[in-house]
Amino acid sequence: MTIDELDARLIAALRENPRVGLLEISRRLGVARGTVQARLAKLESRGVITGYGPEVDPAAMGYGIQAFVLLELAQGRLAEATSVLEAVPEVVEADAISGPQDLLCRLVARDTEHLQEIVNRILATAAIRRSTSYIVLSQQVKPRSGPLVEAAGAAGS
């Protein structure tokens, strides 16, 4: 499934000002309020829009270190490793990947000592055999979806 140009404009308006009401969005987009409401419901039911919560900056909360950690798992223990990772609040993302490692995790820490503590906690389970950590020096492209939404909207029209 794809999105069209109006969907893309609607998503962009919500990302720009997530606290704006439906009536104001419909005014800005030049469409009826019912159209906005129906489009939002459709985008939510399809899983395109997944939430409206505030985005937070971990560094502003005292987690100045960001790292990527590659994990090699013991055979057949993905569910156990995932449970361990879900129990660590500093693990902000984990994806199963192809290649010699099994999981790629993004985590945050207060400092390098805290990062070491987190890695040690993760490695305490027999489900995870080995880790390789990469500390982020600087973020060149922040996580984003705006350009993707814009491109998908243009392709869907």
At 5-47, the pLDDT tens digits run: 999 999 999 988 888 899 999 999 999 999 999 999 999 999 9
What predicted TM-score, i.e. pTM, was given to this entire model? 0.82
What average pLDDT does the segment 87-109 reach? 97
Average pLDDT, the chain: 94
Domains and CATH numbers, the chain: 5-54 (1.10.10.10), 58-135 (3.30.70.920)
Lowest mean pLDDT among 6-15, 66-75, 103-112: 6-15
Taking 90 as the threshold, does the pLDDT of residue 144 lie above it? no
Residue 1 confidence (pLDDT): 66
At 123, is the pLDDT very low, low, confident or very high (cuts 50, 70, 90)? very high
Give the contacts of 3 (CB within 8 A, at least 6 positions apart). Answer: 11, 43, 48, 149, 152, 153, 156
The angle at the Cα of 67, spanning 61 to 72, to the nearest 5 degrees, equals 135
DSSP state of 1: -
Residue 157 confidence (pLDDT): 65
Lowest mean pLDDT among 4-8, 16-20, 86-90, 132-136: 16-20
Residue 155 confidence (pLDDT): 84
